[in-house]
A and B are shown apart, each in its own frame.
Chain A
Amino acid sequence: MLHLLQIDLKKMTSYRTFWVICGLYFLTLGFTTASGMEILKWIASKFEDFGSSLNVNRIPLYHFPDIWQNLIWVSGLFKLVLAIMVVISITNEYQYRTLRQNIIDGMSRWEFVLSKVLTNVMLSLMSVGMLLLIIIVTGLIYTPELSAMDMITGSEFLFAYFLEIFAFLSYALMLGVFVQRSGLTIVLLMLSHMIEAIIKLNLFRESLEPSIGWLKQFFPLESITNLVSLPFPRYAFQEIQDTVSITAVLIALGWAFLFNYFSYLKLKRADI
């Protein structure tokens, strides 16, 4: 297993595009999540321009336990960048035909898919690690009264975050395996949410909503989004889902498995 990961990393670590995209991803992810207070202050200053006031210290953005869901939800927005990297990595193998040579050299098709999936696991784990670090540091700085209980509460979002990234990267990999051309795959990847939304809109007309509306959560991209729900309405006194739903996890796990299985199935049957 480790050997397969090493093979895929060997392909990437001398590839400048890989470093540029990953560098941009981790930098923007880090800076954005760490500078939430500055963003709040900026919003507050805009409020003042309109003559109302907003006390930023009364919004516990970085306080345990809120910080978990807040930062993790924001981080989820950046996963598209990582997914584009995954698309480039797989479509390059088709474009350069190196996939063919890898198989000729003695990789099995299963091993090839596994090497890509393992890289996805690694990228997801790195995102989780990076976020954990930022959450601990900023949480310790901003939380006025620390308690162990508060710190642990909400940490299950970290697992949901891992699954969110991994499932989405698996989806990107599958798209790459099926489409094989980088440009088209990236466009499809970026439009995926919209395409799914349009399908749902047409499928679930208002009259049907009460009877089969519950089916929505089974849609692949929605299942990924459902893992970590938008936390900020709670500061406007609205109800939010502030725990990780087991159903959402199970559905997303199912999709992550299926995405990778479809990639394998496609590769197994193809003449390359």
Chain B
Amino acid sequence: MNEVVLSTHQLTKNYGKLCAVNQLNLEVKRGQIFGMLGPNGSGKTTTLGMLMGVTNPSSGSFSWFGEPATHHTRKKIGAVLEHPIFYPYLSGQKNLELNAMIKGADPNNIPQVLKTVDLTLRKDDKYRTYSLGMKQRLAIASALVSDPIILILDEPTNGLDPMGIAEIREIVKRIADDGKTIILASHLLDEVQKVCTHFAVLRKGKLMHSGPVDDVGKGEETVEVMAYHDDLGVLLQEFVGSGPIKKENGVFQVMMKDGYHSQDLNRFLFERGIVTSHLTTKKKSLEKQFLEILAEAH
């Protein structure tokens, strides 16, 4: 499972004086759901454009499956960059047939992928009559049509309503369960934290951070405590594991020192005869970490 599917080496793209992607080194392994995070204009799409052969790199290199990329490697990748792109005068079905022809995929896959994205009923309607959500779903269908090893999705929930976003998230999770490698570019941090196993943060074309999502907030724990006791605040300060304590809406938020966890705090309170009515462990959210990473860069 540790096979490297994508690696980039000093990948760079300059537009005149503007450096859109700056000496990027990335590695994605098989089975990872790899989130690419970054503010708008941080170089996510430019990077993916280079990886998919539509943008010529200024310098540096990349390889798919350990080999230098050709158009043949792209056939093994399903990718949607920025917006769904289809022939507006063709039906969804015909558009997918065309994708399958280009990718050299079996057209018999089409009914299955249409079912995956729930478009079977509208398959014979022209693409231009589709709603934005349907267009996004057709794009995912076209990426899946060749049963690719890797899926690249760039802002797949852009411009969708909450229901559309939920639908796409479900589809992505289902695909991930099939064991495919997914590269997901997004600025929706919540999205990435829910779906991804690994993530990288880009800013102004530079890689700021790269690592597993599980590592986010490691070694730093905040415990939310509530109890029907007047001196709870004082008691909490007596606990040896307590760091700074904040009170918000009647809930105490205790930043734990290294090596102390919520069960230690719970035991401490219980021994003093206090039963908590609310106790939650909070890891640092990806959003917080993301903002920290971006702030460090300044």
Which residues of A does B touch, CB under 8 Å?
3, 6-7, 10-11, 14-16, 92, 96-98, 100-108, 111, 269, 271-272
Q: Which of B89, B102, B142 contacts A107 (CB 8 A)?
A: B102
Q: Which of B53, B88, B94, B104 contacts A103 (CB 8 A)?
A: B53
> Which residues in B have their C-beta under 8 angstroms from that of A105?
74-75, 79, 99, 102-103, 142
21 contacts between A and B (CB under 8 A): A3-B101, A10-B94, A10-B97, A10-B98, A15-B87, A96-B86, A96-B87, A98-B85, A100-B54, A101-B85, A102-B102, A103-B52, A103-B71, A104-B74, A104-B79, A105-B99, A105-B142, A106-B72, A108-B71, A271-B49, A271-B56
Cα(A3)–Cα(B83), bound, Å: 27
Cα(A7)–Cα(B101), bound, Å: 7
Q: Decide if B74 touches A101 in the complex (CB within 8 Å).
A: no
B289: interface (CB < 8 Å)? no
Which of chain A's residues has its CB closest to B15's CB?
A271
Q: Which residue among B53, B72, B75 has the maximum number of chain A CB atoms within 10 Å of its CB?
A: B53
Q: Decide if A103 touches B103 in the complex (CB within 8 Å).
A: no
Q: Which residue among A3, A7, A107 has the maximum number of chain B CB atoms within 10 Å of its CB?
A: A107
Q: Which of B70, B81, B88, B98 contacts A96 (CB 8 A)?
A: B88
Cα(A34)–Cα(B52), bound, Å: 51
Q: Decide if A103 touches B90 in the complex (CB within 8 Å).
A: no
> Which residues in A have their C-beta under 8 angstroms from that of B75?
105-106
> Which residues in A have their C-beta under 8 angstroms from that of B85?
96-98, 100-101
Cα(A96)–Cα(B126), bound, Å: 14
Q: Which of A14, A98, A106, A271 contacts B86 (CB 8 A)?
A: A98
Interface string of B68-82 (1 = CB under 8 A from A): 001110110001010
- Looking at the assembled complex, report how far the CB atom of B55 sits from the nearest CB atom of chain A, in whole angstroms: 5
Q: Decide if A15 touches B89 in the complex (CB within 8 Å).
A: yes
> Which residues in A have their C-beta under 8 angstroms from that of B81?
100, 104
Q: Decide if A106 touches B71 in the complex (CB within 8 Å).
A: yes
Q: Decide if A101 touches B86 in the complex (CB within 8 Å).
A: yes
> Which residues in B have their C-beta under 8 angstroms from that of A101?
85-86
Cα(A7)–Cα(B97), bound, Å: 10
Cα(A105)–Cα(B104), bound, Å: 10
Cα(A103)–Cα(B85), bound, Å: 12
> Which residues in B have their C-beta under 8 angstroms from that of A269?
56
> Which residues in A have their C-beta under 8 angstroms from that of B83?
97
Cα(A15)–Cα(B94), bound, Å: 11
Q: Decide if B54 touches A11 in the complex (CB within 8 Å).
A: no
Q: Decide if A107 touches B56 in the complex (CB within 8 Å).
A: no
Cα(A111)–Cα(B75), bound, Å: 14
Cα(A108)–Cα(B75), bound, Å: 10
Cα(A15)–Cα(B91), bound, Å: 11
Q: Which of B52, B87, B90, B97 contacts A104 (CB 8 A)?
A: B52
Given contacts A103-B53, A107-B71, 4 further A-B contacts (CB under 8 A): A11-B98, A111-B71, A271-B54, A272-B54
Q: Decide if A271 touches B55 in the complex (CB within 8 Å).
A: yes
> Which residues in A have their C-beta under 8 angstroms from that of B94?
10, 14
- Looking at the assembled complex, report how far the CB atom of A211 sits from the nearest CB atom of chain B, in whole angstroms: 45
Which of chain B's residues has its CB closest to A102's CB?
B102
Q: Decide if A16 touches B89 in the complex (CB within 8 Å).
A: yes
> Which residues in A have their C-beta under 8 angstroms from that of B103?
105-106
Which of chain B's residues has its CB closest to A17's CB?
B89
Cα(A103)–Cα(B104), bound, Å: 13
Interface size class of B (residues with CB under 8 A): 20 to 34
> Which residues in A have their C-beta under 8 angstroms from that of B142?
105
Cα(A233)–Cα(B68), bound, Å: 62
Which residues of B (13-63) have their CB < 8 Å from a CB of A?
A: 49, 52-56
> Which residues in A have their C-beta under 8 angstroms from that of B52?
103-104
Which of chain A's residues has its CB closest to B97's CB?
A10
Cα(A96)–Cα(B89), bound, Å: 11
Cα(A15)–Cα(B83), bound, Å: 22
Which residues of B (78-122) have their CB < 8 Å from a CB of A?
A: 79, 81, 83, 85-91, 94, 97-99, 101-104
Which of chain B's residues has its CB closest to A272's CB?
B54
Q: Decide if A104 touches B54 in the complex (CB within 8 Å).
A: yes
| Given known A-B contacts A104-B54, A106-B75, A14 and B102 have beta carbons under 8 A apart | no
> Which residues in A have their C-beta under 8 angstroms from that of B101?
3, 6-7, 10
Q: Which residue among B72, B98, B103 has the maximum number of chain A CB atoms within 10 Å of its CB?
A: B98
Cα(A105)–Cα(B95), bound, Å: 12
Q: Which of B74, B87, B91 contacts A98 (CB 8 A)?
A: B87
Which of chain A's residues has its CB closest to B99's CB?
A105
> Which residues in B have their C-beta under 8 angstroms from that of A16?
89
Cα(A108)–Cα(B72), bound, Å: 8
- Looking at the assembled complex, report how far the CB atom of A143 sits from the nearest CB atom of chain B, in whole angstroms: 46
> Which residues in B have their C-beta under 8 angstroms from that of A272?
54-55
Which of chain A's residues has its CB closest to B91's CB?
A14
Which of chain A's residues has its CB closest to B89's CB?
A15
Cα(A101)–Cα(B103), bound, Å: 11
> Which residues in B have their C-beta under 8 angstroms from that of A96?
85-88
Q: Which residue among A6, A7, A14 has the maximum number of chain B CB atoms within 10 Å of its CB?
A: A14
Which of chain B's residues has its CB closest to A105's CB?
B102
Q: Which of A10, A92, A103 contacts B54 (CB 8 A)?
A: A103
Which of chain A's residues has its CB closest to B79's CB?
A104
Q: Decide if A14 touches B90 in the complex (CB within 8 Å).
A: yes
